[in-house]
């Protein structure tokens, strides 16, 4: 609890991120990881290994861009640091833990960025203005040897809608935000590795309830890898509830 409280106090965030609950969200992730470290370990390691295995796709003359750095729990910092042109990590929030994690890696930089392009307008803008998600997220489309979207696609709409969406309007916003991100990835002039959960399976007793966290029609074909993430085993959310995420990896623009 103390570390989560300090995270909220010391985090640096883009305009609108705190108001949209993203600071509270990352503090919650830190706490859940502390409680469920053993259950999360395989997913975090698999993500790191998946990224590392595909870094040979990157142009050695251009830096690697990794979006969704978060707490760097699933980021292979040493492998990124070894890339000749270095790496740039991006997220809407920057925690003290993340600053400490990258301090010893001189070839890695961190930049706070709104990957949706909507946080400031939605939370700090004129509420009387009609809200319209962009067709394509404002990502840097050129200048990188490779881009990685790291376990963030399903999380991008959380500042604007519930998960799962509470109504038709929230469903439209969720789909628009995720579609804009995928479109931007496809428009980049370098190889892209997209890693995301796309399905949440909730089991109470023996009856599974499946919730799509990402519309599969937005994802380009079948994943090159798939695995399970036991994000909330029994007792985390409710005594008789087990929650697992289906995670996949897609290699784009190659």
As a whole number of angstroms, the distance between CA 240 and CA 207 comes to 11
Name the percent of the chain lying above pLDDT 70: 95
- For residue 72, pLDDT over 70 is answered with yes
pLDDT in tens, 4-50: 666 766 789 999 999 999 999 998 888 888 888 899 999 999 999 99
Q: Just give the CATH number of 2-252.
A: 3.40.50
Alpha helix (H) residue ranges in the chain: 2-10, 22-35, 37-53, 77-81, 96-102, 119-124, 168-187
DSSP-assigned beta bridge partners for residue 197: 247
Give the per-residue pLDDT at 191.
98
- How confident is the model over 175-187, as a mean pLDDT? 95
Whole-model pTM? Answer: 0.93
Cβ atoms of 251 and 192 within 8 Å: the answer is yes
55 band by pLDDT with thresholds 50, 70 and 90: very high
76 band by pLDDT with thresholds 50, 70 and 90: very high
């Amino acid at each position: 609890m103390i570390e989560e409280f300090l995270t909220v106090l010391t985090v640096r965030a883009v305009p609108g991120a705190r108001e949209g609950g993203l600071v509270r969200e990352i503090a919650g992730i830190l706490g859940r990881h502390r409680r469920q470290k053993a259950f999360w370990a395989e997913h975090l390691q698999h993500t790191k290994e998946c990224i590392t295995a595909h870094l040979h796709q990157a142009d050695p003359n251009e830096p690697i861009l990794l979006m969704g750095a978060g707490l760097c729990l699933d980021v292979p910092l040493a492998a990124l640091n070894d890339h000749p042109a270095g790496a740039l990590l991006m997220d809407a929030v920057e925690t003290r833990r993340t600053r400490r994690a990258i301090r010893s890696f001189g070839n890695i930089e961190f930049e706070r960025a709104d990957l949706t392009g909507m946080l400031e307008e939605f939370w700090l803008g004129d509420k009387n203005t009609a809200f319209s998600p962009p067709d394509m997220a404002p990502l840097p489309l050129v200048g990188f040897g490779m881009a990685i979207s790291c376990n963030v696609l399903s999380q991008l709409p959380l500042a604007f809608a519930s998960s799962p969406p509470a109504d038709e309007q929230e469903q439209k916003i969720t789909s628009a935000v995720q579609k804009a991100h995928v479109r931007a990835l496809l428009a980049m002039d370098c190889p892209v590795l997209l890693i995301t959960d796309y399905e949440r399976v909730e089991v109470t007793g023996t009856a599974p309830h499946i919730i799509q966290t990402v519309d599969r029609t937005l994802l380009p074909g079948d994943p090159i890898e798939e695995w399970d993430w036991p994000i909330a085993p029994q007792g985390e959310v409710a005594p008789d509830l087990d929650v697992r995420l289906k995670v996949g990896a897609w290699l784009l623009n190659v």
